[in-house]
Amino acid sequence: MDFWIDDIGWPFIKIFIIANVALMMVALLVWAERRVAALIQDRLGPNRVGPLGLLQPVADVIKLFLKEDLTPGHVNRPFFIIAPALTMMPAIISLAVIPFGASLIIADLDIGILFIFAISSLAVYGITIGGWASNSKYSLLGGIRSTAQMISYEICLGLSVIGVFMLSKSLRLQDVVLMQGDGIWLFGEHYTGIMGKILDWNIFKQPIGFILFMIAGFAETNRTPFDLAEAEQELAAGFHTEFSSMKFALYFLGEYAAMISIGAITVTLYLGGWTFFGLENLGGSFSWLTQILIFAVKLLALQFFFIWVRWTIPRFRYDQLMRLGWQVLLPIGLANILLTGVLKLIFKV
């Protein structure tokens, strides 16, 4: 019976906790997006439903459920229905290998990061198929554009993290977390002072990789300055022009879940994950709560940055986007790997 408890029971509880935290984060993010946008544009933003407008996402969900579920006659029906789900599911499934705490990980796989990349590489189908099945010019163009953009930046995403795994010697994400924050190694010496511990975070050991990962992450999640798929003045709403009700909501949810997923990977790979220089052990047997809080604070800070960028930076042109991806980020990513190799040989970190 151990099988049922260890392999079904515990994962089920963990999935319940993590899925709830993730969905609450999505709701919070939708609210924060509108409030921060309002703040940046010197407006008020949603402030009527609940205190500070915090219940606005709940109201939005109820509204979306009650909207007419319109499937226009010109679409390819089966694909039109499954396409939004195809975009949303990968973002949720990729949360399975992210460590939210010492034991709060649904599946600590030895292929860790590759699992996330493999699963999220399937998210393009939802967008391509959605655009194609809509049988509308804006949708098709938006879908094709978006797919080309996502696959171009997937290479940068893959290249940018290689340096981290040269340091961690393992693709298991829990190993990557544990190797950060316990003091940096230089010339065979272990520096465990507070500076040594802070500098042990991968953001300081892999600054170029971190910046590349963030840029590629913005592109993968189709956020400004890379939101060409839904460039309003050219393509109406791009690939989701024809979608309504919960079909639209699943695309919407998928975008925000992907943002959380990319943010969570960034926190895990570069910002020390659920650790914070010993603070993570506070609370005795409830330390898992402290750990998930540390993780959530780091994640929210990062999401604030995502939102800040979206409402500050204008959109790229398509040729600029492609040039940045192929001609700038790709060689920098390769150079970063070789640089990491050279530095590792010299400093013996």
Partner 1 sequence: MTPCPAVIATVSEYVPVLVMLIFAVSFAGFSLVVSVLLGKKAPTNPVKDAAYECGMPPISDAHQRFSVKFYLVAILFVLFDIEVVFLYPWAVQFQAMPAFLFAEMLVFIGILFLGWWYVIRKGAVDWSTE
Partner 2 sequence: MEPIFHDLLAAGGGHAVAFYACSAVTIAAAILMVMKKNPVASVMWLVLSFIGLAGIYVTLQSYFIAVIQVLVYAGAIMVLFLFVIMLLNLRREDIAKMELPKVPFAGVIAAILFFVSVFLVIKASTPAFEKPVDALLGEPALAGDSVRAIGIPLFSQWLLPFEITSVLLLAAIVGAVALTKKKL
* Nearest alpha-carbon partner for 123 in 85, 172, 168, 76: 85
> Smallest gap, in angstroms, from Cβ of residue 344 to partner 1?
6
* Nearest alpha-carbon partner for 35 in 22, 48, 17: 48
Nearer to partner 1, 193 or 331 (CB): 331
**One of 20, 24, 74, 193 touching partner 1 (CB under 8 A):** 74
Cβ-contact 246, 163 below 8 angstroms: no
> Smallest gap, in angstroms, from Cβ of residue 75 to partner 1?
9
> Smallest gap, in angstroms, from Cβ of residue 121 to partner 2?
3
Q: Which of partner 1, partner 2, none does residue 191 bind (CB under 5 to 8 Å by kind)?
A: none
**One of 59, 211, 318, 332 touching partner 1 (CB under 8 A):** 318
258 binds partner 1, rule: CB under 8 A: no
30 binds partner 1, rule: CB under 8 A: no
Nearer to partner 2, 47 or 170 (CB): 170
**One of 39, 54, 211, 236 touching partner 1 (CB under 8 A):** 236
287 binds partner 1, rule: CB under 8 A: no
Neighbouring C-beta atoms of residue 98, cutoff 10 Å: 28
Cβ-contact 87, 126 below 8 angstroms: yes
Q: Which of partner 1, partner 2, none does residue 162 bind (CB under 5 to 8 Å by kind)?
A: partner 1
Site for partner 1 in 104-123 (CB under 8 A): 106-110, 114-115
140 binds partner 1, rule: CB under 8 A: yes
241 binds partner 1, rule: CB under 8 A: yes
Nearer to partner 1, 249 or 294 (CB): 249
242 binds partner 1, rule: CB under 8 A: yes
Nearer to partner 2, 40 or 114 (CB): 114
85 binds partner 1, rule: CB under 8 A: yes
263 binds partner 1, rule: CB under 8 A: no
**One of 116, 159, 184, 307 touching partner 1 (CB under 8 A):** 159
**Main-chain dihedrals φ then ψ at residue 185, nearest 5 degrees:** -100, 125
58 binds partner 1, rule: CB under 8 A: no
64 binds partner 1, rule: CB under 8 A: yes
> Smallest gap, in angstroms, from Cβ of residue 83 to partner 1?
11
Nearer to partner 1, 47 or 170 (CB): 170
Q: In Å, how far from its chain's centre is CA 241?
A: 24
